[in-house]
């Protein structure tokens, strides 16, 4: 019998502009609007270094920044990878990437669509019989990928409020089927395709679809289709292994007495396929470059990753939807980025690029607070510096 585990608060970003993603049909959208023509500022290495050197806002142990694109490149690190040994962090240290995992899974599902092995408008229950109740018959593969499924909240899983509670649940283990069962009680929150709510459970199901269609665990499909062809040898899905192997940044949390405790070793079973992968800034930059360049998907399916739902498909709070198939859109100082944020305890990530790849950035930072709302400050500082010439500071944020 597996033990109950926390329901992780879903990080959805802040003030991200956009209007959403793929509808529940298989129809292909129009080509996305042209990339932003806003002026990009020249890179300011001293300011960028100062932005990641500020490890007090929020309290953090380290940060890594990889800036690329045709408008210039820069690399920087700050802090220590291990608070015990005080080893300085490097650009090649591995980190937990959280929800950036969804980019890999969405890409593989779209590859399977391109091969005719799955359809976006097929009901999930047809692909995974017996996993979802009959009342969820309208939920399609497309609904999972763009978070318009309407699946209900998790029931029966504890949600820790303190760092001490996080540690008490760090080795709780779930099978994917058990985790799905916690989010299949009661009716759907809304008719599939009519609203958008960012939910990790959508991608747990998407990874199970990859399992079923390919006949191999999603981890092996990602490795065969993306990691090995692109040479992403520092990227992996851990499976049931709670550790990070090789040189990596340790995640830490601040305890009630003010001490730091290492939270790196952590069971990832409840976020299989939606937030469990490990990578580096350089590997993630290479993924984004290759994906945006059209080397992983045919044009008509790549367009889905840059297409939001219609204006009449808002988030639950009424704000414009902001998630496409596997990505999210963010506009800062008039510059529109596409990419993904990710979060695990002790780890915070942002992987974004303009559509034309004039400016890409991969930021990994390591806040020590147990998700108190301050974790995005470093991302906001960096995004502002990378776009500030386009408009007065503060016109947008992540």
Q: Flag whether 39 is in a domain.
A: no
34-77 pLDDT per residue, tens = 445 578 999 999 999 999 999 999 999 999 999 999 999 999 99
Q: Tokens for 383?
A: 């995004």
Spatial distance between the Cα atoms of 378 and 94, rounded to a whole number of angstroms: 19
Number of Cβ within 10 Å of residue 309's Cβ equals: 27
Q: Flag whether 323 is in a domain.
A: yes
What are 299's strand-pairing partners?
none
Domain count, the chain: 1
Q: Flag whether 238 is in a domain.
A: yes
Q: Flag whether 4 is in a domain.
A: no
Q: Tokens for 37?
A: 């023509």
Q: Flag whether 27 is in a domain.
A: no
Residue 272, CB-side half-sphere exposure with 13 Å CA sphere? 26
Cβ-contact 192, 309 below 8 angstroms: no
Low-confidence ranges of the chain (pLDDT < 70): 1-37, 371-372, 390-398
CA distances to 2, 82, 137, 138 from 242, rounded to whole Å, are 15, 17, 35, 35
Spatial distance between the Cα atoms of 345 and 250, rounded to a whole number of angstroms: 10
Pick from 143, 153, 140: nearest CA to 187: 153
Contacts 24+ apart (CB under 8 A), 318-321: 320/17, 320/18, 320/19, 320/20, 321/18, 321/19, 321/20, 321/21, 321/196
Q: Which residues lie below 8 Å from residue 167, measured CB to CB, with a gap of 6+?
A: 253, 261, 263
Give pLDDT, residue 390. 59
Give pLDDT, residue 26. 30
Spatial distance between the Cα atoms of 5 and 324, rounded to a whole number of angstroms: 29
Reported in sequence order, the residue ranges of 315-374 that DSSP labels E, i.e. its strands, are 328-332, 335-344, 347-353, 360-367
Give pLDDT, residue 158. 80
Give pLDDT, residue 41. 96
Q: Flag whether 19 is in a domain.
A: no
Helix (H), strand (E) at residue 65 = strand 60-68
Q: Which domain holds residue 96?
A: 45-390
Residue 121, CB-side half-sphere exposure with 13 Å CA sphere? 6
CATH code for the domain in which residue 225 is found: 3.40.710.10
Q: Flag whether 235 is in a domain.
A: yes
SS3 276: coil
Full-model pTM? 0.90
Q: Flag whether 366 is in a domain.
A: yes
Spatial distance between the Cα atoms of 368 and 200, rounded to a whole number of angstroms: 23
Residue 60, CB-side half-sphere exposure with 13 Å CA sphere? 30
């Amino acid at each position: 019998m597996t033990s109950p585990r926390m329901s992780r608060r879903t990080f959805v970003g802040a003030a991200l502009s956009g209007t959403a993603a793929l509808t529940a049909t298989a129809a292909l959208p129009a080509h996305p609007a042209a990339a932003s023509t806003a002026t990009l500022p020249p890179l300011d290495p001293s300011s960028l270094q100062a932005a990641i050197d500020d490890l007090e806002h929020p309290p953090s142990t380290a940060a890594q920044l990889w800036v690329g694109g045709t408008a210039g490149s820069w690399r920087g690190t700050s802090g220590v990878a291990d608070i015990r040994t005080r080893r300085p962090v490097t650009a090649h240290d591995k980190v937990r990437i959280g929800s950036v995992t969804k980019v890999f899974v969405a890409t593989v599902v779209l590859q399977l669509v391109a091969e005719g092995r799955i359809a976006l408008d097929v009901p999930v229950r047809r692909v995974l019989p017996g996993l979802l109740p009959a009342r969820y018959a309208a939920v399609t593969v497309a609904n999972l990928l763009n978070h318009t499924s309407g699946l209900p909240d998790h029931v029966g899983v504890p949600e820790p409020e303190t760092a001490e509670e996080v540690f008490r649940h760090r080795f709780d283990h779930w099978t994917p089927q058990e985790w799905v069962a916690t989010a299949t009680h009661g009716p759907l929150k809304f008719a599939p395709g009519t609203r958008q709510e960012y939910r990790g459970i959508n991608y747990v199901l998407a990874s199970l679809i990859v399992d079923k269609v390919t006949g191999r665990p999603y981890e092996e499909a990602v490795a065969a289709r993306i990691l090995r062809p692109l040479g992403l040898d520092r990227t992996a899905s851990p499976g049931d292994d709670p550790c990070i192997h090789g040189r990596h940044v340790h995640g830490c949390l601040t305890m009630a007495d003010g001490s730091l405790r290492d939270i790196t070793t952590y069971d990832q079973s409840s976020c299989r396929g939606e937030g469990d992968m490990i990578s580096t800034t350089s590997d993630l930059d290479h993924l984004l470059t290759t994906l945006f360049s059209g080397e992983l998907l045919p044009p008509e399916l790549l367009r889905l990753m840059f297409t939001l739902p219609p204006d009449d498909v808002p988030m639950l709070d009424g704000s414009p939807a902001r998630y496409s198939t596997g990505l999210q859109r963010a506009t800062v100082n008039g510059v529109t980025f596409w990419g993904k944020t990710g979060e695990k305890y002790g780890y915070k990530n942002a992987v974004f690029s303009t559509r034309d790849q004039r400016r890409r950035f991969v930021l990994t930072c390591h806040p020590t607070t147990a998700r108190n709302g301050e974790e995005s400050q470093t991302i906001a500082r960096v995004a502002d510096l990378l776009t500030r010439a386009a408009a007065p500071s503060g016109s947008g944020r992540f």
